[in-house]
Every structure is written in structure tokens, then in C-alpha cells.
Structure 1
Amino acid sequence: MTEAVGPRPPKNDTGGRLAAIDGLRLFAAIMVALYHFTAYPSGVRAAWGVTPEQAFPGLHRLGQYGWLGVELFFMISGFVICMSCWGRTPGAFFRSRIVRLFPAYWAAIVITTIVVTLWPVVRERKPWNDILINFSMLQEGLGAPHVDAVYWTLWNEGLFYLLFAFLVARGLTLKRTIIFGYGWLIASAFAESSGIPFVRTFLQPGYAPFFVAGIALYLIYRFKSDIVLWGMFGLAFVMAQYRTSEMLRHYNQKHGLEMAQPAGALLVCGFFLVLALVALGYTSRIRWRWLTTAGALTYPFYLLHENIGWTVIYGIRDSAPRLVLLVLVIGIMLAAAFLLHRLVEKPVSRILRDRLAEASAAINRPGRFDAPKPPAPASTPAQRTPGEASSDGPDTLVLQAYRSGQ
């Protein structure tokens, strides 16, 4: 297998971004929001005051599958992270992830905390020590609650970044990435039965197939199609279907939902098919700039929508038909995401990027962390080589002259 770059789709007008990917991001975020606003039992009852069946007799049957938008997010992440890391150093990779994730996340923690503190009608404010640890994004690993439940996915994203960083440190090549993808899938198959919590956590058997599917599709996008790459994609697909069937049963039992296995399987098939079309270049004609803007709003929208959205619904739930209010609340959350993106995320990301670049340059400066050289021992007259200039002071020279005359 060679690493010659295969035919690439024509360049678009979206600054090098794939507009179709941005559109899929927005679609995934709306899916998750519909799940929380129309089908998630405890959230719907608290926000709308009735059960999902009463609030949305027909729509809740579609909305209950919305949690699968997270799996689509993970597929997109595998594709985009592999694309953005090609040719980067590990340091550049981590800096880009910090700049991308933390500014909007920090702002969302503050905004959500303010909202649920002022209006604790659906969710109550977490204790201050729990709020503080959320700023580290490590609360899942420490067993602390999330300020907003949707933050759990950031832990899984972070684990993927950490695992992928080992590959970036070696240097991304086609061969190494293929070994990584197959290796992760196979290792994740054994992780569940390993009985070792750290292994299960780190290898993410429930989500590895979705991340690896995105990686495989990026390799197909960047390089010519190859049976080895499609084999990775196919293995990820069958494993993803198995994991999806398990999760459907879990959610049905936990939340009393009535999701059908064929419907979930068909939806996941749709994810794989659409992203495969992107990888093969069939969506290259989609160049709408508004999709790029929508893609930029997806992350802040996702961070803000759940607790704040439920709070807004609670406040206006009797003012209009529920379908109208549902569309209105999604619009409000998109507007809030736009303001967060423009007023906080963009300027803070720019500052953070510059400061991290300066810190990296200072750390990597030659000799920055070298041990100081010991001072050269002072030379004595006996050690001085012929012709060496004397560094003795006037008093020493007088004493030497006196002694030589004795």
C-alpha cells in the first residue's frame, strides 16, 4: 500500500472546511436537543409539566432516538481530528484542542450556573467544589457531578484525544493510522471483559467503533480507496451496530422508552452512509457558507441547550402551542450560542492561542532547561600558560615583586 494522495474533491469556498461536515454537526446537535426537549422522561416532565407522551404524542417517538446524535458527533470527531492533526506535532495538537474546547466550555459553566442559581426550577445549582472541578473537565474521572449532564461526552472526547496523541507523537502516516484503527477496535472488543476499569475507560468499547469509523473515512477521503481501509470501516460498522443494539436495550430499560431495534440500526446505517458520501467527494458541491457558521455554533449550542433550555421551557410553557414553543426554544438556544461564540469563544480563543504559542516557544527555546555550566576555576600563576594575560590585582603584583626580590 502506498501513501500517494488520491484524487481530492475540489476546493470549496468555506476556508478549507467541509461544509457538509458542519451541516452534519448541526444535525447531530439538533437531534440531541430534540431528545432532551421531547423524549427524555425526567427532563420533559420537569420542563413541560407532563410526560413525553402527553407533551408530544407523535414527535416523542422520533425524539427518543435523538441521543444517537452523540454517536454521530463521535464519528465526525474521528474524521476531523485525523484531518486536523496530519503533519502536526503533539504540542500543536494539544494546543489546538485546548483552544477549541475550553473557552466556550468555561463560559457555559458560568452561564449555566447563573441560570440554575437564579431559577432553580428544573435543575439546582451544584455545590461550589463540584462547579470548580468542572472547569478542569476531569470531573467524570473523579466521580464528581457535571454542571450540565451533556458534559459527559467531553470526557470521552478527551480520552480519544489522549489515545490519538500517542499516534501523533510517532508521526501520522497511512500505515500507522491503519494499525492504530484496527488495533483500537480489536483491543476494545476485549476491554469490556477484561475486568479492569482503567482499560474499559481508556479504550471506550462502546464508542471506539464510531471514532474509528470517522478515522477510516478520513483516510479514504485523503488517500485512494483501498480494501484495507474499507475493511476497517466495515469492522467499525458491525461493531457500532452491536453497540447500538445494546444501548437501545439499556435506554429502553432505564428510561421506559419504546425504541425499536430496526429503527436504531437504520439510523446508524444512515450516519455511516452519509459520512461515506462525504469521504468519497459526493458532497463537495455543498459550499454554503451558512453551514460553516452553523458548524461553529454547534459546540456552544450543545453546551448550553439542556439545563438552560429546560429552564426557558418551564418559564414559557403555557404561552403558546408546544410545537411552536419547541421551535422557539431551539431558536433561542441557537441565538445564545451565537452570542457566546462571537463575544466569548472567538476573542478568548484568540488570546489563549497566542499565549499558548508564546509559552510553547519559551519552553522550546534552546538552552531554556539546560543545567547551568559550572564556573571555570580561577587560574593560578603556576597554571598560567606562557603569554597568558594576568588577571591579578595591583596588590598581588606588589606582593609577588617583593617576594621575588628576597
Structure 2
Amino acid sequence: MLNQLQPVRLRTRLKRLEARDVPGPGTKRPARLHALDGTRLVAALMVVAYHYTARGGGWPTPVREMFPGTFRLSAYGYLGVQLFFLISGFVICMSAWNRPVKAFFVSRVVRLYPAYWFAVIATTITVAVVPGGRRHLPWNDVLTNMTMLQQAFWVPHVDAVYWTLFTELRFYLLFVLVAWWGLTYKRVLLFCCVWGAATLVVAKAPPGPLRMLLIPEYSWFFIAGMAFYLMYRFRPNLMLFGIVGICFCASLAPTIDEFKHLTPFLGRRAAWPVIVVLAAFFGMMALIATGRLSRVQWRWLPVLGALTYPLYLLHQVIGWELIGYFAPRELVSPWGLVGVLVLGMLVLSYLVNKLVEKPLGDYLKRGLAQL
């Protein structure tokens, strides 16, 4: 009789644990994932290397000739955006868990807008001040950029890298539906499956509101990021690994299409490194999700991780403007100029984090908390 009751008690215990969203027995997670900060920095530096030594705006001669060896690698640096989306799926799920929708909304506003507003203003001023550079947008377009919704209104970006922010906002809009319902293992798992199925339906559909909302070009990365977080919180299982595997395979087609669209800018290149790089991204996230990198506790990683968002926002147009001004004068070598730019952008990003993001973020948080 006792032996018959034990399985029933075990099932009841597991259901209670799941209902309370508590990880399984013996699961102890660190307060902060330092390895995730390092991965975020890698993604940002990949994009910076791509824009400075592969896409190469501002250089007086073709960048392929100036950095022939580096070009072979940095030409794939744009894939850092896909890594950002993977991380975002993980982090957004983690930050929204056990929090009301209002707190999630406030956290996203506080995280995204202070550095973004500064970047829009700083980039606009740089374009206006640096002689011989590009023309800045009309002021009404600059003001529309301050909303972060300019892409929805077909208004040009102050800096082209802002397109990823609109993609993030669409992910938040979808995710807030399940957050409002209440985040549990089963509900997030259901959301992953439903979004994946909807992506298949609209993948080849013509442009329209539904396609824009579902983000079929990048949805697989967000879905995989959420599945990785479920692994991290509830331990891995065959279902979650299956979702991640499907996301990896399904993400290859739109990513290779994007690779082909960049051929006019970067020339003909082998496509197989795209698969290798994406596999490395998924492998790194798997190590984080399964706790293999939990021992990485270097204190400087969170500091560098905090620089990635302002670095991403500031580096492209401002960097290209400075390259276009200084490179023809040959005051330093091309590599010297790239090194100074990267170091300068990191210092500027640190100052933005300390002097803009934190104080303005605290002000916004206090104000929005009163709504």
C-alpha cells in the first residue's frame, strides 16, 4: 500500500513545484550570469568589427583592400545581431518572471530609452558638425526617431542600427501577452510552439501587419532564447532541446537569405561560416542554460556587459563620420584609427552608462512607478 502511494505523492510534489515555478531539487542558480554579460560583449564587438572593417563606411579606399585578412572574418560580424536576439529571448523571459506586467513595462522603458535618446541626439549633432559627412535628417524625422517607432512610420533611422530595436519592441509586444496571462513553464512552452507554428504560416507571405508582428526572419532566435531560459530555470529536457534544435535548423534559411542580400556590399563569400557561427552561438547559450559556465564570476564582466547597449547604439554613424574625416588625412594608420575609435567608443559608452543611463533610468523608474 505504501509503495502504491509513493508515486502519487511524487506526482503531487512535482505539480506543486511547477505551480510555484520553483526549480527542481538541488538546483542553485547564481544571482547574475557573468557569462551572459561576456556573450553580450562579444555580440557588440562583432557588429563593431563588421561596420569598421567589413561594411567600412567612411574609408577613402575599399575596406577589403585595407583589411584583407580581417575582412574574411569581420564580414560575418553582422551575425552578432542574431546573438543579441538569442540573448534577448533568454533575458526578457528571466526579467519578467514573477513580475507584474507593469513592472516589466517599466523595466523595458528604463533599460531602452535613456541611452537611446542620448544616442539619437549625439549622432544627429555629430552628423551636423563633422564637415564633409552625410546630411542629417530633417528635425521632424529626428523627433520621430525619439519614439523608437520610426520604422513603423517609414521614417529613416538616424542610425541604421536602430532597426534591431523595433524588432525587439515587436518581441516585447508578443511576450507581454503571455506575461499578462502569467508566466509558467507550460505557458511559455506553449507560446514558443504557437509562435513557431505562426512563423511557418507567414514565412513566405507578402509584407503585411501580421508578418511584421510575427518577425519570421528572426523569431527562431527569440524562441530559442526562451527555451534556453526554461532549461536554465527548470533543468533541460528532451522537449526543450527539441525546440532549440528546430529553431537552429529553421533559422538557417532566413539567415542565409540575409547573407545573400549582403553580397552587393561584401562581395561573394562562402556561406558555410554562417552555419558554423550560428552553431557556436547556440552552443554558447546551451552552456549557459545548463549551468556549465556558472563558475565564471569575473567581476569585470558585468561592467563590460553594461557597455554593450550604448556601444551598439553609438558606434556606427559616429564612427563612420570620424573615419571619413580623419582617414584621408592619414594622421594615423588605418588600424590605429580603428583602435582609437573602438577605445573611444568604449569610454563614451562607459560615461553614457554612468552619467545618462543610471540617473535618467532611476528618474524614469520613480516617475513610471507612480502611474
Counterpart contact for 2:54–2:266, Cα < 8 Å = no
Identity within the alignment, %: 44
In structure 2, list runs of 5 or more residues that go unmatched: 1-13
Shift of 1:315: 3.2
Task: Pick one of 34, 40, 49 that aligns with 1:19.
Answer: 34
Task: Pick one of 30, 36, 39 that aligns with 2:51.
Answer: 36
Counterpart contact for 1:64–1:257, Cα < 8 Å = no
Shift of 1:53: 1.5
Separation (CA, whole Å) in 1 of partners of 2:223 and 2:29: 25
Task: Pick one of 24, 27, 34 that aligns with 1:8.
Answer: 27
Shift of 1:121: 3.2
Shift of 1:50: 0.9
Letter aligned with residue 55 of structure 1:
M
Counterpart contact for 1:122–1:307, Cα < 8 Å = no
Letter aligned with residue 346 of structure 2:
L
Render the CA deviation track for 1:73-130: whole Å, top value 9, x for unaligned: 0000000000010011111111110010001101111111111100153432111110
Counterpart contact for 2:132–2:325, Cα < 8 Å = no
1:271 and 2:293 aligned: no
Classify the secondary structure of the residue corresponding to 2:370: helix
Equivalence map 1:33-72=2 (5 Å): 33-40=48-55, 44=56, 46-72=57-83
Counterpart contact for 2:228–2:285, Cα < 8 Å = yes
Task: Pick one of 117, 135, 138 that aligns with 1:106.
Answer: 117
1:332 corresponds to: 344
Letter aligned with residue 8 of structure 1:
T
Task: Pick one of 246, 250, 253 that aligns with 1:239.
Answer: 250
Counterpart contact for 2:48–2:316, Cα < 8 Å = yes
Q: Which has the higher helix share?
A: 2
Letter aligned with residue 201 of structure 1:
M
Equivalence map 1:280-295=2 (5 Å): 280-295=290-305
Letter aligned with residue 122 of structure 2:
I
Separation (CA, whole Å) in 1 of partners of 2:235 and 2:39: 24
Classify the secondary structure of the residue corresponding to 1:242: helix
Separation (CA, whole Å) in 1 of partners of 2:72 and 2:207: 37
2:231 corresponds to: 220
1:345 and 2:364 aligned: no
Shift of 1:196: 5.4
Separation (CA, whole Å) in 1 of partners of 2:29 and 2:368: 34
Classify the secondary structure of the residue corresponding to 2:113: helix
Letter aligned with residue 51 of structure 2:
H
Render the CA deviation track for 1:50-88: whole Å, top value 9, x for unaligned: 112122111111111011000000000000000010011
Shift of 1:39: 0.9
Classify the secondary structure of the residue corresponding to 1:83: helix
Render the CA deviation track for 1:212-240: whole Å, top value 9, x for unaligned: 11100000000022211111111111111
Counterpart contact for 1:25–1:76, Cα < 8 Å = yes
Counterpart contact for 2:115–2:352, Cα < 8 Å = yes
1:149 corresponds to: 160
Task: Pick one of 76, 81, 89 that aligns with 2:92.
Answer: 81
1:393 corresponds to: none
Q: TM-score w.r.t. structure 2 length? A: 0.91
Separation (CA, whole Å) in 2 of partners of 1:327 and 1:277: 31
1:132 and 2:143 aligned: yes
Separation (CA, whole Å) in 1 of partners of 2:267 and 2:228: 32
Which has the larger displacement, 166-175 or 220-229? 220-229
Render the CA deviation track for 1:292-331: whole Å, top value 9, x for unaligned: 0111110001110001111222333212222222122111
1:161 corresponds to: 172
Separation (CA, whole Å) in 2 of partners of 1:9 and 1:300: 32
1:376 corresponds to: none
Which has the larger displacement, 346-355 or 185-194? 185-194
1:310 and 2:320 aligned: yes
Separation (CA, whole Å) in 2 of partners of 1:64 and 1:9: 40
Counterpart contact for 1:216–1:233, Cα < 8 Å = yes
Task: Pick one of 241, 260, 263 that aligns with 1:249.
Answer: 260
User: What do you get for the CA RMSD once the two structures are aligned?
Assistant: 1.4
